[in-house]
Amino acid sequence: MKYLDETGCAQWSAVSYSYVRIGTQKRLEQTSRRGQRVSILGVWDPQESFEYALAVGSIDSQRYMAVMDQIAAKAERTFVETQRLTIVVQDNGSIHKSRVVKERWGRWRSQGLVIVFLPSYCSELNPIETEWLQLKTHELAGRMFEYEDELAEAIIDGMIDRSEAGNYALDHLIINCA
Domain-embedded: residue 80? yes
pLDDT of residue 18: 60
Q: Do 49 and 62 touch, CB atoms closer than 8 A?
A: no
CATH number of the domain to which 9 belongs: 3.30.420.10
| Residue 26 scores a pLDDT above 90 | no
Q: How far apart are CA 17 and CA 99, in angstroms?
A: 43
Residue 14 in this model has a pLDDT that exceeds 70:
no
Tell me if 143 is assigned to some domain: yes
The reply to whether 22 falls in a domain is no
What is the per-residue pLDDT for 22? Answer: 80
Whether the Cβ atoms of residue 95 and residue 59 lie closer than 8 Å to each other: yes
User: Could you report the per-residue pLDDT of 85-109, keeping only the tens digit for each?
Assistant: 999 999 999 999 999 999 999 999 9
The dihedrals phi and psi of 9, each to the nearest 5 degrees, come to -130, 135
Residue 131 has pLDDT above 60, yes or no: yes
Domain holding 80, by residue range, is: 2-13+27-173
Give the angle 103-129-73 at the CA atoms, nearest 5°.
35
Q: What is the pLDDT of residue 36?
A: 86
Residue 125 has pLDDT above 90, yes or no: yes
* pLDDT tens for each residue of 33-86: 667 889 999 999 998 999 999 999 999 999 999 999 999 999 999 999 999 999
Checking if the pLDDT of 4 tops 70, the result is yes
Phi, psi of 171 (to 5 degrees): -135, 115
pLDDT score at 39: 96
In a domain, 81, yes or no: yes
Residue 33's pLDDT is 60
Residue 19 in any domain: the answer is no
In a domain, 20, yes or no: no
Residue among 121, 61, 57, 64 at smallest CA distance from 88: 64
Q: Is residue 41 situated within a structural domain? A: yes
Q: Is 18 a domain residue?
A: no
Q: How many domains does the structure of the chain reveal?
A: 1
| 151 sits in which H/E element | helix 148-166
